[in-house]
Amino acid sequence: MTKRSSLPRGVAVVGAGMCKFGAFPEKSSRDLFVEAFQELVKSVDKGFDPLSIETVYVGNYSGELFEGQGHLAPLMVDAIGLTPRPAVRVEDACASGGVAFRQGVMAVASGMYDSVLVGGVEKMTNLPTAQVTDALGTAADTLFENPAGFTFPGFYAAIATAYMHKYGMTPQHLMKVTLKNHENGALNPKAQFNVSIPGWMKGRVDAAIKKGKPVPTWQTVWDFLQDDAANPMIAWPLRLFDCSPVTDGAAAVLLVPAERAHEYTDAPLYVIGTGQASDVALHSRADLTTLNAARAASLTAYEMAGVTANDIRIAEVHDCFTIAEVVASEDLGFFAPGDGFRMADEGVTSRLGPKPINTSGGLKSKGHPVGASGVAQIIEVWKQMRGEAGERQVPGGVPLALTHNVGATGTTCVVNIFERR
Amino acid sequence: MTKRSSLPRGVAVVGAGMCKFGAFPEKSSRDLFVEAFQELVKSVDKGFDPLSIETVYVGNYSGELFEGQGHLAPLMVDAIGLTPRPAVRVEDACASGGVAFRQGVMAVASGMYDSVLVGGVEKMTNLPTAQVTDALGTAADTLFENPAGFTFPGFYAAIATAYMHKYGMTPQHLMKVTLKNHENGALNPKAQFNVSIPGWMKGRVDAAIKKGKPVPTWQTVWDFLQDDAANPMIAWPLRLFDCSPVTDGAAAVLLVPAERAHEYTDAPLYVIGTGQASDVALHSRADLTTLNAARAASLTAYEMAGVTANDIRIAEVHDCFTIAEVVASEDLGFFAPGDGFRMADEGVTSRLGPKPINTSGGLKSKGHPVGASGVAQIIEVWKQMRGEAGERQVPGGVPLALTHNVGATGTTCVVNIFERR
């Protein structure tokens, strides 16, 4: 494949917003999208006329299956008052948001547009969980994989098992990822579960006392995370707290040409690298402990950006399951193969460590409205790079950050790299 | 909205292929996609290495609902041996193919890619027709329109009724569109119904004789088209033969930078204009007799191309229903509002008329695999502009052609303009 070292026209993020993530039975996808857009409008430091937006991309995995609504893009554009702007829905399973962002980057880089809105949205919680699992399952290879009984917890359990076998990781190592991401999410008011594991435990104890029920006897987080009642096994070795939740949510960012960024803000994020790759379905792969698409996408993005994995200060990675974060930290070149779980164990990836991963709380704690997640990763990068992440702010400044968004079992991966100058 | 007069980097179509359209119970979407791709590979005059393709766009409306398969793009890329190329599914209901094409144009224009495959695919016929109608219905506004009982034949019947009331058209005028498109489709071996209406009638008569059943007594096509048994009412004034069919099919084109087109062929098509627009859902519009999105998209495309409606030699327009072709012929500026049905009646839009529309047979006769239709329109333009349309070749050369692809009731419209130099 021909590779180029830079975009023909620079692209910058100058606005970003997201709604609170969670379960909102009374809200439709358009309500969520409007909330994210309204926050975006306020986020533009020097103000701007929303009607100057020229085209809109919407990342969405399956409005059809989750909400019975296809053709979502023009409806979202109508909801935010931007009809007749072109409206394009982009779908690559759980990478839909990140891929939509990348299309927005191309739209600006192509010279066709000077103001592009990229949103992601998913409305998932109105269906029973089993139906959500089935809907998500259509992102796999339904001719060859689903008939064998696989759903996504099973796929990632297979990845975890292969990884444990190859590198000696234990299920307890994965719990360190859970603990870290909930610790971060506890500091993120937009997170679906903005509570640490100790906080969660305390909440359960308090509730039991209040209701006069038997009080749980967990002494440590390890007691809690290994309690089959509190943290049931979903697909061995993955327990409930290894899995990201079912979430309603939306996020949106505003893209403009780099040379015009300062009309909007003195603190833009420059998109200096973007890469995307596909892979064969999981059952066809020789090695389950790495995602080829993540490696390929990150190499493309690093090459375009002219940076290396070492240069990245923080990363938001696709932790749909805890094992996915471990594998991602290796695929992105942060750590050598087999070192990812040790680095998580040693706190290297914690918020105050040398390589913070998922300071937002990740999909695990922030929530995973699938089509929105790739865009929501960029919201966190926006806040951290601009020093607006509040209690969870990474110290010392964030000049370079990366987002890593995966579709299905890595059949799609998209990586974007951002710079604050 | 800022408008620009041309793409920063020219884009050309240098290959095109489609599978036979029809009902193929034994084929999956990937089978159809592979067939279209194989024909595309053969179509490149000077040959090329398929592995030189750098990225892939897939227009698909609802693999989830039609086939239980989401995340279609990387599966298609795997099926044609192009993993790990980036694979993006684009969805804008029945405009998915045309919008995917437009994204491919941007990918080349952005300078990020020098070889882009755009495919469209839909596998619809394995579901009962009522379920297909419901699945298509999710392209409307499901909060406000579907609960009122509308499905797509009803929407377009409302458009037809409003048009009849305003301009004095009769249902018989619409039958002229049916007759023309089946006449054209009879000359298109890839068409699902490659048979004229007289041919259809003869087939029915012959079959009845063969089976010893009562022989139909239609004397003219008008007898046939107004026979409630042969051509039943679907949603007044639209009968069966006013509606495009349910179809399995795929189509694909290859895009490269204009300056490299001659490495592939001496007869490329240059993409000189592209426009897209959205609209509010049908129930919110003041006037049902025109699609604002089609008007806006075509104005953008004409402006970019620097041409007018009069300059267009042929057009493939989105005749999901006969009335849609009449309205399109006005929205595109070919005829004044209220003149479209008269022009169809007078043969102006017939293959040998001054403004041929849907020489392929249109969605009506060629078939309408929704996510593929926008790309398949470009296949017809490719053939006509290169003088390869065989029996249905428009005489005198086709220097400029246009495609018009609509999503839902015109909530999305995309228009592309092509030139042969």
- Using one digit for the tens of pLDDT, what is the confidence trace for B131-156? 999 999 999 999 999 999 999 999 99
Chain A, nearest residue to B100 by Cα:
A88
* A71 interface with B at CB cutoff 8 Å: yes
CA distance B347 to A162: 67
pLDDT confidence bin for B209, thresholds 50/70/90: very high
Bridging pattern class, strands A233-235 and B116-123: unpaired
Handedness of CA B128, B61, B238, B227 (dihedral sign): negative
The verdict on a CB contact (< 8 Å) between B71 and A139 is: yes
Catalytic site includes residue A368: yes
Q: Name the active-site residue from A182, A368, A404, A413.
A: A368
Residue A297 and residue A321 in contact, taking contact as beta carbons nearer than 8 Å:
no
* B296 interface with A at CB cutoff 8 Å: yes
| Candidate from A28, A92, A293 with C-beta closest to B88 | A92
pLDDT at B416 over 60: yes
Residues of B in contact with A62 (CB under 8 A): 64, 70
Cβ-based neighbour number of residue A142 at 10 Å: 20
pLDDT number for residue B215 = 93
Q: What is the ipTM of this complex?
A: 0.96
Which residue type does B94 have? C
* B230 interface with A at CB cutoff 8 Å: no
Q: Which of B30, B112, B406 to mutate to test the interface with A (most CBs of A within 10 A)?
A: B112
* B412 interface with A at CB cutoff 8 Å: yes
pLDDT number for residue A23 = 98
pLDDT < 50 stretches in chain A: 1-5
| Candidate from B71, B141, B408 with C-beta closest to A407 | B71
Residue A402 and residue A417 in contact, taking contact as beta carbons nearer than 8 Å:
yes
Catalytic site includes residue A71: no
pLDDT tens-digit readout, B271-311: 999 999 999 999 999 999 999 999 999 999 999 999 999 99
Two tokens at A303? 């090459």
pLDDT tens-digit readout, B248-276: 999 999 999 999 999 999 999 999 999 99
Tell me which residue of A393, A388, A400 sits closest to A18, measured CA to CA: A388
pLDDT number for residue A6 = 67
**Of all residues in chain B, what percent carry a pLDDT higher than 70?**
99
Q: What's the gap in Å between the CA of A12 and the closest CA on chain B? A: 15
Cβ-in-10-Å burial (0-12, 13-18, 19+) of B199 comes to middle
Chain A, nearest residue to B28 by Cα:
A143
The verdict on a CB contact (< 8 Å) between A277 and B86 is: yes
Q: What's the gap in Å between the CA of B344 and the closest CA on chain A? A: 29
Residue A167 CA from chain centroid, whole number: 26
Residues of A in contact with B8 (CB under 8 A): 8-9, 110-112
| Candidate from B8, B28, B281 with C-beta closest to A110 | B8
Tell me which residue of B123, B168, B108, B127 sits closest to B21, measured CA to CA: B123
CA distance A380 to A416: 13
Q: Which of B78, B88, B103, B295 to mutate to test the interface with A (most CBs of A within 10 A)?
A: B88
Q: Name the active-site residue from A19, A94, A243, A320.
A: A94
Q: Which of B11, B49, B64 to mutate to test the interface with A (most CBs of A within 10 A)?
A: B64
DSSP labels, A125-161: TTS-HHHHHHHHHTTS-TTTTGGGT--HHHHHHHHHH
Cβ-based neighbour number of residue B243 at 10 Å: 21
- Estimate the crossing angle of helix B96-109 against helix A96-109, to 10 degrees: 50
Q: Which residues contact B23 (CB under 8 A, 6 or more apart)?
A: B125, B192, B246, B247, B248
* A314 interface with B at CB cutoff 8 Å: no
Q: What's the gap in Å between the CA of A230 and the closest CA on chain B? A: 33
Contact residues, A window 44-63, toward B, CB-based 8 Å cutoff: 54-55, 61-63
| Candidate from A68, A83, A276 with C-beta closest to B142 | A68
pLDDT at B200 over 70: yes
pLDDT number for residue A313 = 98
The 3-state secondary structure of chain A reads CCCCCCCCCCEEEEEEEECCCECCCCCCHHHHHHHHHHHHHHHCCCCCCHHHCCEEEEECCCHHHHHCCCCHHHHHHHHCCCCCCCEEEEEECECHHHHHHHHHHHHHHCCCCCCEEEEEEEECCCCCHHHHHHHHHCCCCCCCCHHHCCCHHHHHHHHHHHHHHHHCCCHHHHHHHHHHHHHHHCCCCCCCCCCCHHHHHHHHHHHHHHHCCCCCCCCCHHHHHCCCCCCCEEECCEEHHHECCCCEEEEEEEEEEHHHHHHCCCCCEEEEEEEEEECCCHHHCCCCCCCHHHHHHHHHHHHHHCCCHHHCCEEECCCCEHHHHHHHHHHCCCCCCCCHHHHHHCCCCCCCCCCCECCCCHHHHHCCCHHHHHHHHHHHHHHHHCCCCHHHCCCCCCCEEEEEEEECCCCEEEEEEEECC
CA distance A232 to A236: 10
DSSP labels, B68-87: S---HHHHHHHHTT-TTS-E
Residue B90 and residue B100 in contact, taking contact as beta carbons nearer than 8 Å:
yes
CA distance A118 to A121: 10
Which residue type does B61 have? Y
CA distance B362 to B367: 7
Residues of A in contact with B70 (CB under 8 A): 61-62, 65, 91, 93, 135, 138-139
Which residue type does A49 have? D
Backbone angle region of B110, left / alpha / beta, with phi > 0 → left and psi within -120 to 50 → alpha: alpha
- Estimate the crossing angle of helix A171-185 against helix A322-331, to 10 degrees: 90
Under 8 Å CB pairs connecting chains A and B tally to 214
Q: What's the gap in Å between the CA of B72 and the closest CA on chain A? A: 8
pLDDT number for residue B2 = 39
Q: What's the gap in Å between the CA of B83 and the closest CA on chain A? A: 6
pLDDT at B231 over 60: yes
pLDDT number for residue A7 = 78
Residue B332 and residue B32 in contact, taking contact as beta carbons nearer than 8 Å:
no
pLDDT tens-digit readout, B58-115: 999 999 999 999 999 999 999 999 999 999 999 999 999 999 999 999 999 999 999 9
A37: three-class secondary structure by DSSP: helix
pLDDT at B4 over 60: no
Give the predicted TM-score (pTM) of the model.
0.97
The verdict on a CB contact (< 8 Å) between A74 and B279 is: yes
Residues of A in contact with B88 (CB under 8 A): 90, 92, 99, 103, 276
| Candidate from A77, A142, A276 with C-beta closest to B69 | A142
